[in-house]
Amino acid sequence: MPIATPSQFAAMLDSAQEGGYAYPAINCSSIPTLNAAMKGFADNKSDGIIQFSTGAGQFASGLNHKDSTKGTIILAEAAHALAEQYEVLIGLNTDHCQPENAEAFLDPLIEATAARRAKGENNLFQNHMLDASILPLAENMAISQTYLKKCAEHDIILEVEAGVVGGEEDGAAGSEDTPDEDLYTTPEDMVAVHEALAELGRFTFAATFGNVHGHYKPGAVKLEPEILKKGQAAVQEKYGQDSEFDLVFHGGSGSLLSEIRETLDYGVVKMNVDTDTQYSFTRPIAGHMLQNYDGVIKVDGEIGNKKVYDPRSYLKAGEQSMSERVGKACDDLLSVDKTIISQF
């Protein structure tokens, strides 16, 4: 099945919201990681989301260029071709883009979708993220309004963030020393986001509730999912049940399964997964190198073993392992066996 159309992607979000589950959004940076994500979704009969950071785009464009926009377009076009092999729906998203990078990164990607649409083709992307959370809320919403209007012209959903996710990730606004008070979105913030954006187009919202990017032991990150419940209630009390946000969960590594599942009750429909899948891809490759050190390295004048230093031998192991971790994310988020592809 080709990459989801805008209407199919909207239906995915609606189905998750109504069904109390969420989609893993898997960060990818290469053909093997794209295949791993798609295999993980397909093996679990789960629709899902694949996303690219600015850093992934730089990597994909090659060391001589490090062109985040060019590389991201290359990855997205590859995803469109690869997705035709799988019987699940997959949406494409770009991850954190800070305001100072938006003109050089998001604008050309939106234009690339516009060019496709002019030829009668599917959107290149169904979703983009603008992370202006480093700005005061009023400034954040002003630039978010600008980009939501641009996206809405082409049936692209915009993901926004208010409150800062701590830790570090490509393009994210937070840092390891982000003050605790900035890690929590208030009900007043959530009302302000609704008032600023609801009339302009469809958007998803990464409200923060103690999230931290990076890798942590289970239970090490102190989340307060109740913040999402209170914020949703504040908005719905003022604007009715239809004002419920489609929420996004960032920085989930180290979260307890009970906390992840609790967020599904409060409107989370997308959860980013990056650190855990990076590790799952790399771990079997490290094992391969250690177990076959005298084959991957020419030791004492020997010639090594082509079968074990052929990159395919260990990249396949990484792909398999990462696909299994994607499957775990589907299970955690209750999206297993819930593909809606039969509706289309």
Distance (Å, whole) CA 332 – CA 225 = 16
Per-residue model confidence (pLDDT) at position 172: 52
**What residue has token string 């289970």?**
218
Per-residue model confidence (pLDDT) at position 213: 61
For 30-39, b where at least 16 C-beta lie within 10 A, e where not — what string?
Answer: bebbbbbbbb
Above 50 in pLDDT, residue 326?
yes
Q: Which of 43, 47, 67, 95 is catalytic?
A: 95
DSSP letter string, 75-105: HHHHHHHHHTT-SS-EEEEE----HHHHHHH
Above 90 in pLDDT, residue 56?
yes
Distances (CA, A) of 324 to 38, 44, 102, 254, 328: 11, 10, 34, 18, 6
Above 60 in pLDDT, residue 330?
yes
Distances (CA, A) of 19 to 128, 236, 273: 24, 19, 21
DSSP letter string, 181-207: GGGB--HHHHHHHHHHHTTT--EEEEE
Q: Which of 8-17, 113-122, 204-213 has the lowest mean pLDDT?
A: 204-213
Q: Which of 156-170, 220-234, 268-282, 284-298 has the lowest mean pLDDT?
A: 156-170
**What are the pLDDT digits (tens) for 170-199?**
555 544 555 566 678 999 999 999 999 999
The pLDDT mean for the chain works out to: 93
**What residue has token string 């850093």?**
55
**What residue has token string 């909207």?**
10
Per-residue model confidence (pLDDT) at position 175: 45
Q: Which stretches within 265-337 are classed as H helix?
A: 275-291, 293-296, 306-309, 311-332
Residue 251: pLDDT band with limits 50, 70, 90: confident
Per-residue model confidence (pLDDT) at position 184: 85
Q: Which of 120, 127, 55 is nearest to 91 (CA)?
A: 127
Domain 6-283+322-343, classified CATH 3.20.20.70, yes or no: yes
Distance (Å, whole) CA 264 – CA 248 = 10
Q: For this structure, is 95 an active site residue?
A: yes
**What are the pLDDT digits (tens) for 222-233?**
789 999 999 999
Per-residue model confidence (pLDDT) at position 336: 98
Predicted model pTM: 0.93
Q: What SS3 class is residue 310?
A: coil
Distance (Å, whole) CA 150 – CA 156 = 8
Per-residue model confidence (pLDDT) at position 174: 46
Q: What SS3 class is residue 293?
A: helix
Above 50 in pLDDT, residue 316?
yes
